[in-house]
Structure 1
Amino acid sequence: MAKKRVTKPVEERRQEIIGTARVMFTENGFDATQMADISNKMKVAAGTVYHYFKSKTELLYAVIDEITSENTQEKQRLLNETEGSAIDRLKFIFTAFENGELHRDLSSGFLSDPAIIQYYLTKMASSYLLLFSSLIEQGNADGSWSCEYPTETAMFILQGMAGVMAKEQEHKDSPQESSKRIKVYTKFALRVLDVVK
């Protein structure tokens, strides 16, 4: 007797594909994973994955979107739990950055292509924009700094952070070199914010 076909809601199936691809890209690498491997793992017809994603690269971008969304939500939660002034909370973010917590996914096997890394960094900067601009506005209110253009300044800082991470990947920095680079950038970012205390 033929097995009954399992039909799932569109979004549920899409998320299942993304989740399966994320695991397989991480474990086996992007290049070594084929779309057929993903459909086999899910036990679905080969065309099912292509119905939702026209290419493996498009699927990878969806995986990256999910990663950056999760990271942003987690950092927002941690930031909400951090007491103190805006400058204290900003330093918390930069400390996490220095420890590699904001970009640990760059070490994943599927983030090796320069174009893919650039997409990841651009997506990360975009996803953190609201978090940083809100923090800058809080700093204006509590006297941590005086910043006339919160959103534009947040964009500038985030693009700088993305640049630091890109350099790390390009030069394969040691942990010590990476830490030094981030500390220098942190001082620069605080100057951009016109810190008054």
Structure 2
Amino acid sequence: MRVVKAPDVRRSEILAAANQLFQTQGYSRTSVDQIVNKVRIAKGTFYHYFKSKEQILDALADQLVLDMAYHSEQIANHTQLNAIEKIVTIISEQNRLQSEQQNVVDSMHLPDNRQLHERINIKIVLTFGPILATVIEQGNQQGLFDVKDPLSTIQFILAGSLFLFGEGVFNWPPEQAQARIQSMIILIERTFGAQPGSMIIALNQCLNEEKR
């Protein structure tokens, strides 16, 4: 008997099946036929929702950014953390979510997916900028920071870090990547008007975890 499901349910099932296959066997080794067989649908049903496997990756990447934004907003609204603690916790949570979707993240960085990678980076800047700007403004009020334009400042930092440390862009050797992380931490402290050394240990740990 043919099972008819609501469009949003069927679409979610296709995404979940594709994501599981990407994580277990890799994006490049996953075919549309495998996704179709896993969901137990006709290939025509798949193409009703997605034009290609690449469009599946696009949707999963979008969902990853939305998930990261949701968790970041929860942290930004936390009443028990100061601004520095929130920034560190947000970075740690982003690292965790990206690690759970590592095959999706790695696939975004493939040369053939350069346009997707650039589009996601733009979305990250536009999505996370306002969230982090509210945290920086809180830091201003707490006397931890002195930033005149929190949104423009954090968007500049985000865009620069995504390009400088993006996979497949510069491919820094480990020692050069570490040197640039240290320079970026100092730059962030100075740009935020933070007390020298107040963010170094915590940010160093988070940013180095991100590069592992």
Shorter-chain TM-score: which interval? 0.7 to 0.9
What CA distance in whole angstroms lies between the structure 2 residues aligned with 1:157 and 1:82? 25
Compute the displacement of 1:17 (Å). Answer: 1.3
> C-alpha deviations, 1:1-37, integer Å up to 9, x for none?
xxx2111111111111111111112222222222222
Residues 1-197 of structure 1: matches in 2 within 5 Å? Answer: 4-81=1-78, 83-93=80-90, 96=92, 100-101=95-96, 103-104=98-99, 107-108=102-103, 109-114=106-111, 115=114, 116-166=116-166, 170-171=170-171, 173-174=173-174, 178-195=177-194
CA contact 2:109–2:167 (8 Å) conserved in 1: no
Shift in alpha-carbon separation, 1:103–1:160, aligned structure 2, 3 A: farther
CA contact (8 A) 2:36 2:42 kept: yes
Cα deviation, residue 43, structure 1? 0.3
The alpha carbon displacement at 1:135 in A equals 0.7
Residues 32/168 of structure 1: CA separation in 2 closer, same or farther (3 Å cut)? closer
Q: Note the C-alpha offset of 1:169.
A: 6.4
Q: Distance in 2 between matches of 1:170 and 1:23?
A: 30
In 2, are the aligned partners of 1:26 and 1:110 still within 8 Å (CA)?
Answer: no
Letter in 1 for 2:121: L
Preserved contact between residue 106 and residue 117 of structure 1 (Cα < 8 Å)? no
Aligned-pair Cα RMSD in Å: 3.0
SS at match of 1:44: coil
Q: Deviations over 1:99-153 (max 9, x none)?
A: 9547436842533414144344333333322321111221222222222222211
Asked if the contact 1:146–1:195 (Cα under 8 Å) also holds between the matched residues in 2, the reply is: yes
- Counterparts of 1:194 and 1:11 in 2: how far apart (Å)? 47
Q: Partners of 1:84 and 1:20 in 2: how far apart? A: 37
- Contact 1:83 1:89 (C-alpha < 8 Å) held by counterparts: no
Aligned residue pairs, count: 191
Shift of 1:68: 1.7
Letter in 1 for 2:148: E
SS at match of 1:110: helix
Provide TM-score, normalisation by structure 2. 0.74
> Shift in Å at residue 38 of structure 1?
0.9
TM-score, length basis structure 1: 0.79
Q: Are the equivalent residues in 1 in contact too, given 2:83–2:135 (CA < 8 A)? A: yes
Measure the CA separation in 2 of the matches of 1:20 and 1:130. 33
User: Is the deviation greater in 21-30 or in 45-54?
Assistant: 21-30
- Stretch moving more, 33-42 or 79-88: 79-88
Which residue type is aligned with residue 51 of structure 1? H
Measured in 1, the distance between the counterparts of 2:120 and 2:173 equals 19
